[in-house]
Chain A
């Protein structure tokens, strides 16, 4: 199975900060990567798919990039609603593995 490694595991930031989260795959997954936002007690919310395509309704401050084994999620200007945990997921091959998550906390 493909392993997905996210860094950092926790990130402290302030409103207005530019935030970058990295996701690395143990082997090439081309562009078959998605990013989700997860808040406690709520279902995950799809932000980005195919590494860089913004899901409908997601604010443009979210962006994704990368291909092969290295990917990034960037929030250009962190908003109060963005404090949450973010997960990457590969869907190149089974099992459809998630990264361990990055918790974005208020600094």
Chain B
């Protein structure tokens, strides 16, 4: 079964750090771009970042540049999101997502169940 499982969400204070993980199974992880997408409480979906198959290219939404860092370890079928200098507006459910086509960076047909990040004092 094709599956993505996120972990690492937690309650963290403003200015704090957190690292999210996404473990893939059931498909050739190293063949796919991968993305993080988030949804704040009561808000819409927001694409956060993505990473190329070999990790050589990374893209970010402007609001997280310099604070969040995407990475991957193909040997472990895993993707990560290092989150530093967290702000209240980073509070969201974070999803990892896989594009429907291995040659493209979007759109996304496989999603994880989400992990909750709450930034609050």
Contact = CB atoms under 8 A, between A and B. Distances in A.
Interface residues of A, number: 20
Q: How would you classify the secondary structure of chain A's contact residues: helix, strand, loop or mixed?
A: loop
B109 interface: yes
Interface residues of B, number: 23
B95 A49 contact: no
A91 B50 CA distance: 12
Given A43-B114, A44-B108, A49 B44 contact: no
A96 B35 contact: yes
Contacts of B113: 43
A87 B59 contact: no
Given A55-B109, A95-B59, A96-B50, A36 B45 contact: yes
Interface of A: 1, 34, 36, 38, 43-44, 46, 49, 55, 87, 89, 91, 94-101
